[in-house]
Structure 1
Amino acid sequence: MSLQDEEHIMISYNWENLQEVMIIKEALEEKGYRIGMELRHEEGSIAWAMTEGVDNSSAVLLCVSKAYKDSVNCNKEASYADSRRKNIVPLKLDETVDLDGWISHMVEGRRCYDFYDFKYFKESVDGLDKELVSLGVQKQGNIYSANVGQHKYIGDPDKILKTKETYKKKT
């Protein structure tokens, strides 16, 4: 099983926001969604990892922050998702960032979910869940992620949590 074989939700984010994104990822997995995202920051075929993650996704979550908006690779990934006519759902990770510039045409008319204030986290996750259901995204419950620089990564919850703990120690 790889990202090419299974429908999933793709999370597009900037590496600087990994910890926040992992919390969102885990909340969606608890609701039964299959999530695809880059988990390791390596050199390699970034274009391959981006297209594989997007191609069979039923929705793409854009985790927008200043770092996301400034990233050429995030722009490419989001633009590819838009060109493939994927369901794009913006998540705002920074209160001060505007959904303008290259992001604006992709998110125009779409509801944005605020994840910059974690006291409203549950409400944001519940709203996002309802949005995903309305878009026809299926809940499946399996957990896996794609790595940049490798063809696929299939992980179980224990491996993913160990990976998360490793990144927490580095920061």
Structure 2
Amino acid sequence: MIHFARRLAGSLALLLMIVAGGASAQVPGPRPGWRVIETALPYDALLPRLREAVRAENMGLVTEAGPTEAAAGRGVTIPGNRVVGVFRNDYAVRALGLSVAAMIEAPIRFYVTENGTGTGAALSWKTPGAVFAPYADEGGAELEALAAELDAVFEAIAARATAE
């Protein structure tokens, strides 16, 4: 019973955030180390464009996860929300050679979120530079250079995915 009450309270809190917060509740706000690109593209258009952009930039789509479809299966409607993990083996091998601990961060993730009004979606991500920064003491300048390469790749993916 306690577990049910906690789940119900959590669901009600999420619903209140969605209703009270509107669009801003669904798009991550600016924060250090993040990039956020708000678009007029619908969530259902931005997500496949992201997948195509990942392939076009010769990266691998490693993981995908999101609560939207699972919630719908339970009869709960929430705005589109998907995390897409992106990486490539040659980057993994290079990163491992510089810092074994840094590989906990791979794949690096994009976050696609539908705004609360359903009139567009945002593409967000923690930049690889920010993701790998805590491991700079191990990986040094070479890890920073690898992160800078990945920063450029992620920017290219995002530009391709969000071009209107």
TM-score, normalized by the shorter chain, greater than 0.5: no
What TM-score, normalized to structure 1? 0.28
Larger Rg: 2
Choose between structure 1 and 2: higher strand proportion: 2
